[in-house]
Amino acid sequence: MELAHPQYLWLFLIFIPLIAWYIIKHRNAHPALEVSTTLPYARLPRSFTEYLMHLLFLLRLAAIGCVIIVLARPQTRDSWRTSSTEGTDIILALDISTSMLARDFKPDRFEAAKDVATKFVSGRESDNIGVVIFAGESFTAVPMTTDRALLTNYINSIKMGMIEDGTAIGDGLATAINRIKDGKAKSKSIILLTDGSNNTGVVAPVTAAEIAKKYGIKVYTIGVGRNGTAPMPQQNYFGGIDYVNMPVVIDEATLKNIASTTGGKYFRATGNTVLKEIFSEIDRLEKTQMDVKHFSHTEDNYMLWAWLAIGLFVLELLLRHTVLRTIP
């Protein structure tokens, strides 16, 4: 057991003046009833209350001691250790625009990307990984972490329509750069997955690529969509969704430019299998030495002492006004 605030244990020093005060008080106590002689009472058996006359003070001290322990906040901590391992910093920037619902992947681009991203994250046990999602705007969904459960759970929970529709590739890349640029790993990479071309946002994709290059961040771009046409979601007159075959438009020139500027690589995913192969290739990224902290759950254990303090105070009050009641 550990104490969160061990400095409060110094409060036990107040027991010294309290005990001194109690001894002096009883030595100087005046009798409540005076008689000429005590000889008639000398042979009378002593009452058990006489032996318990100091119990009330001991109960009070014990209760105060429990309160001090509560203030010190006892805790149970399983373990804490730091290990050195091979790893890199990676940000997954995922396009969640409506066009990602196109069904040229099984069941669609959106679900296929989530599935592959989840498996990729699960296999990178020693890496710091974050998640950025973008459509008409972008934001950091998961900051850099080594918590695989947190990452996979969030990726699986991403829903279409969480943010305004559109394809702000530059903004998504800029958000990812801002999140990863201060990482401690020597190797920093962004995996940007999109199925369209930049049609909104504040930051131009080429500008974001230049910023990534400045910070030494590689950007691996993935264009998602088969060649030719694909069943795209279109809203009908009744407010429902129809799937209409439409040309697949991916700004490959911009994605290639981003990759080449930053020292990364451009990939074209035309199906589920190809997408998995792309992530397998990216999985072979350069790794660097990094420190990872492992810690277990910490649980507070002060409630037992709190209830014990309350019980001792209540017991003292009951005894003081019943069995050990004294004449004023």
- Tens digit of each residue's pLDDT (9 = 90 or more) over 43-82: 666 666 666 778 888 999 999 999 999 999 888 876 666 6
**pTM score:** 0.61
Per-residue model confidence (pLDDT) at position 193? 94
Judge residue 323's burial from the number of C-beta atoms within 10 Å of its C-beta, 0-12 exposed, 13-18 middle, 19 or more buried: exposed
Taking a C-beta distance cutoff of 8 angstroms, is the pair 261, 217 a contact? no
Locate tokens 């599935």: which residue? 115
Over residues 159-211, the pLDDT tens digits come to: 988 899 999 999 999 999 999 998 877 889 999 999 888 998 999 999 999 99
pLDDT at 184: 78
Residues lower than pLDDT 70 in the chain: 29-51, 78-86, 285-297, 326-328
Structural contact between residues 99 and 312, judged by C-beta atoms closer than 8 angstroms: no
pLDDT at 275: 87
- The two tokens of residue 128 are 């710091």
Backbone torsions φ then ψ of 315, nearest 5 degrees: -60, -40
Radius of gyration, CA atoms only, the chain? 35
The pLDDT of residue 160: 86
Show the CA angle centred on residue 212, arms to residues 209 and 213, nearest 5°.
90
User: Per-residue DSSP letters for 157-203?
Assistant: H--TTSS-SS--HHHHHHHHHHHHTT-SSS-EEEEEEESS---S-SS
* Structural domains of the chain, with CATH: 2-25+47-78+297-320 (no CATH), 82-293 (3.40.50.410)
**Among positive and negative, which fits the CA dihedral 187, 278, 250, 101?**
negative
Check residue 305 and give its pLDDT. Answer: 92
